[in-house]
Amino acid sequence: MSNFSKDAHLSPSTLHKDVPMAATRDGYGIGVVETGKKDESVVVLCADLTESTRSQGFKDAFPNRFIEMGVAEQNMAVVATGLALNGKIPFVATYAVFSPGRNWDQIRISACYNEAHIIFIGAHAGISVGPDGATHQAMEDIALTRTLPGMTVLVPCDAEEARKAIHAAITAKGPVYIRLGRNATPKFTSENTPFAIGKAQIFREGTDVAIIGAGPIIHSALVAAAELEKQGISCEVINMPSIKPIDHDAIEKAAKKCKAIVTVEEHQIMGGVGSAIAEVVAQTVPVPIEFVGMHNSFGESGTPDELLKKYRMDAPAIEAAVKKVIKRK
Amino acid sequence: MQKLTTREDLERMANTIRKDIIAMLVEAGSGHSAGPLDLADIATALYFNVLNTSPDKKHDPDRDRLHISCGHTAPVWYAVLARAGYFPVEELKTLRKLGTRLQGHVDRLTTPGIESSAASLGQGLGIACGAAYAGKINNQTYQTYALLSDGEHDEGSTWEAVAFAGHYKLAHLTAIIDRNNIQIDGPTESVMRKENFKEKYEAFGWHVIEIDGHNFEEIISACNEAKAIVEQPVCIIAHTIAGKGVDFMEYQYQWHGNPPNKEQAQEALKQLRSLGDKITPSDI
């Protein structure tokens, strides 16, 4: 009855109150230990945020392959480059406001221009960081990383997808950015849910509007789609964890099928997931698009739910965007 | 690659390198003169005597590594790499031209022998730290060198790397500072106070050696001393004369980022020839 795509293998409790909760950073914490066991070239660098980035498990398991950098994100990116050019696979973990926020130049020249295979973990991204306020809410990191030549950009929608993204990242080439959230959010995908760099997945079939986006907000899109179905509006929900490379075919098919798109992200609408989707739509099947995300503003202190509501990045905001885009068809 | 061991041979090679630099820059019509000229002796000593590396060891995991932080000094490294056999000397004339393997700033992906791309200042020492740390994890004993300008010590990121190397007592790591006392806007001490380099590095846990960066005995002996110190990283402060070898460029900060024109290049080559070089200058 939920119209979930069978191929997505979503949890039956996805829309129930008892859906398990976990932060995407927890998926990284599990995944990085798993990859560390598989491949001894994996090393982890952290800038004084070992526990909150969930790098502690790796540090405990492989103390000789964990490097404490101190609060020095610029040096963290370049030391990682030196390690990567000498056969290591470094994970560089800190908050997204600091990496790529503070060390973008080091990522551009040292990591990307050298084509160094480094996995940048941008933790505590999005407004749902909550009470720490605007200084710690990275709302620009996708735009910062997406423009860099050779960079892969991944935005997992839940902890399980984050774990898979970690595994996929170590087999990728060149630098990879993985965006993670602080807050516990529904863990609604399963071990069988497909994940591949460059691929989107249809989570829910629909015909009137395609909701496409990335991150935990995809769960809100499923909630919104269920509500809209009651009102006679059929929404397709497409999870697009790979912002770069982006799945052109999936976007083109959705534009042809639904003839209207709503993009969803917990990020500035300028330069983010919506922009990446709009670039494809504009060049293939130009259809109306509405953008759910941050509109040229800083966040503030508050609970995650309060902030997502106030800044219009929750299920009701997605519903409103769907209704608006239908009128433009 | 032939190792040069006598002062005479090294000086002769450095003189050839300086002539290559002038020829490259006048052909390119843009680029940096002062730094490359003053680094000619250090670069010659490194590639023709100190470094355990060569064109056929490019991928040898046990080779010594040199990470150039001041990527704008590219011409001197290209000249040395060409003379050491990494690529044909004739290719030097393609510097900065469309399609060249010799980019305006060093690029590891295009130029054989360049270990890491750099130019945005303040990053090469950190890369060298990563290379040295990888060696530490692997129990390898290759030596990692970083070549830094004095000007880039204005960058906070340089000091992050200085702190990191000192904290982890990174052995087999040697930073060489080209202390030529100039940067783009003027003399280094008037743009932004740098001194006291020695005390600053020592405070971060480094062993510091000060040398005349134009004296081959001092350059080579400092590098050997650095290799022998295995408890901490070593910083060699190499005092150099900006634009060394061409009298109208020497000590002049205005030559940091400019090439000679044709007349100036002729005069520069005349001066370099008169230094007693017996090698026929390459006609590039």
Q: How many CB atoms lie within 10 A of CB A72?
A: 24
**Residues in A touching B163 (Cβ below 8 Å):** 70, 72, 75
Q: Which residues of A touch B113 (CB under 8 A)?
A: none
Q: Per the residue annotation, which of A34, A40, A51, A73 is the catalytic one?
A: A73
Q: Cβ contacts (< 8 Å) between A106 and chain B: which residues?
A: 120, 123, 126, 157
Q: Do residues A64 and A143 share a domain?
A: yes
Distance separating alpha carbons of residues A292 and A304, to the nearest angstrom: 16
Distance CA B128, CA B143 (A): 10
pLDDT score of B282 more than 70: no
Domain end: A167, A186, A205, which one? A186
Task: Kindly determine whether residue A86 and residue B131, on different chains, have CB atoms separated by under 8 Å.
Answer: yes
Any domain includes A294: yes
Share of residues in chain B with pLDDT > 90 (%):
94
Interface pTM, i.e. ipTM = 0.95
Does residue B278 lie in a domain region?
no
In terms of residue numbers, what domain contains A212?
6-19+192-327
CA distances from A299 to A53, A264, A272, A302, B85 (A): 21, 17, 16, 9, 57
Residues of A in contact with B124 (CB under 8 A): 78
Residue A46 belongs to a domain: yes
Q: Which tens digit of pLDDT belongs to each residue from A225-267?
A: 999 999 999 999 999 999 999 999 999 999 999 999 999 999 9
Of A141, A158, A186, the one marking the end of a domain is A186
Q: How confident is the model at residue B280 (pLDDT cuts 50, 70, 90)?
A: very low
Residue B59 within a domain? yes
Of A82, A86, A114, the CB nearest to B117: A114
Chain A / chain B CB contacts < 8 angstroms: 104
Residue B95 β-bridge partners: none
Does residue A60 contact residue A217 with C-beta atoms inside 8 Å?
no
pLDDT at B170 exceeding the cut of 80: yes
Using one digit for the tens of pLDDT, what is the confidence trace for B1-10? Answer: 679 999 999 9
- Are B118 and A109 in contact (CB < 8 Å)? yes
Is residue A306 part of the annotated active site? The answer reads no
Q: Which residues 6+ apart lie within 8 Å of A117 measured at CB? A: A84, A89, A172, A173, A174, A175, A176
Residues of chain B by 3-state class (helix, strand, coil), percent to 5? 45, 10, 45
What is the total count of domains within chain B?
A: 1
pLDDT digits (tens, 9 = 90+) for B79-111: 999 999 999 999 999 999 999 999 999 999 999
Domain identity same for A182 and A219: no
Q: Which helix (H) or strand (E) holds A281?
A: helix A273-283
From the list B117, B125, B164, which residue is nearest A69 (CB)?
A: B164
Q: What CATH number does residue A271 fall under?
A: 3.40.50.920
pTM: 0.96
Per-residue pLDDT, B2: 77
Contacts of A110 in chain B (CB under 8 A): 116-118, 123, 126-127
Q: Give the largest Cα separation in chain A, rounded.
A: 59
Residues A182 and A223 in one domain: no
Query: Does B157 sit within 8 Å of A74, measured CB to CB?
Result: yes
Q: What is the pLDDT of residues B120-158, one digit of tens each?
A: 999 999 999 999 999 999 999 999 999 999 999 999 999
Q: Does B167 touch chain A (CB under 8 A)?
A: yes
Cβ distance A134 to A165 under 8 Å?
A: no
Of A67, A106, A113, the CB nearest to B117: A113
Contact A75 B134 (CB under 8 A): no
Q: Are residues A209 and A71 in the same domain?
A: no
| Cβ-defined contact of B127 to A82 (cutoff 8 Å) | yes
CB contact under 8 A, A82 and B137: no
Question: Considering only CA atoms, which of A140, A266, A145 is closest in space to residue A213?
Answer: A266
Nearest-CA residue of chain A relative to B59?
A86
CATH code: domain of residue A164: 3.40.50.970
Q: Are residues A30 and A64 in the same domain?
A: yes
The H or E element that residue B167 is part of is: helix B156-167
Same domain, A249 and A214: yes
A283 and A314 housed in the same domain: yes
Asked if residue B239 belongs to a domain, the reply is yes
Q: pLDDT tens-digit profile of A42-75?
A: 999 999 999 999 999 999 999 999 999 999 999 9
Which residues of A fall below an 8 Å CB-CB distance to B?
A: 43, 64-65, 67, 69-70, 72, 74-75, 77-88, 90, 105-106, 108-110, 113-115
B280 in a structural domain: no
Q: Residue B276 pLDDT more than 70?
A: no
pLDDT value, residue B168: 98
Query: Which two three-digit tokens encode residue A208?
Result: 């009137």
Residue B284 lies in a domain: no
- Residue B119, chain A, CB below 8 Å: the answer is yes
Same domain membership, residue A273 and residue A150 = no
Residue B274 confidence class, pLDDT cut points 50, 70, 90: confident
Q: Are residues A105 and A34 in the same domain?
A: yes
Residue A224 lies in a domain: yes
- Asked if A147 and A242 sit in the same domain, the reply is no
pLDDT at B281: 44
pLDDT at B284 over 60: no
Are B116 and A105 in contact (CB < 8 Å)? Answer: no
Q: Mark the ranges of chain A whose per-residue pLDDT is less than 70.
A: 1
Helices A73-84 and B124-137 cross at an angle (nearest 10°) of 50
Residue B283 located in a structural domain: no
Determine, yes or no, domain membership for A1. Answer: no
B133 CB neighbours in chain A (<8 A) are: 67, 79, 82-83
- Check CB contact under 8 Å for A79 and B120: no
Q: Would you call B161 and A79 a contact, using CB atoms and an 8 Å cutoff?
A: yes
CATH, residue B210: 3.40.50.970
Q: Is the pLDDT of residue B278 over 90?
A: no
Q: Which of A186, A209, A236 is the C-terminal boundary of a domain?
A: A186
Same domain, A52 and A173: yes
pLDDT at residue B275, rounded to an integer: 72
Query: Which of B123, B159, B162, B204 to mutate to test binding with chain A, by most A CBs within 10 Å of its CB?
Result: B123
Task: Report d(CA B101, CA B95) in Å as an integer.
Answer: 8
- Residues of A with Cβ-Cβ distance to B128 under 8 angstroms: 82
> CB-based contact (8 Å) between B107 and chain A?
yes
Domain of residue B22 covers 7-273
pLDDT at residue B1 in the model = 67
Q: How confident is the model at residue B279 (pLDDT cuts 50, 70, 90)?
A: very low
Q: How far apart are CA B131 and CA A41, in angstroms?
A: 14
**What is the number of domains present in chain A?**
2
Residues A86 and A182 in one domain: yes
Interface residue of A78, A99, A106, A114 to substitute, partner B, most B CBs within 10 Å? A78
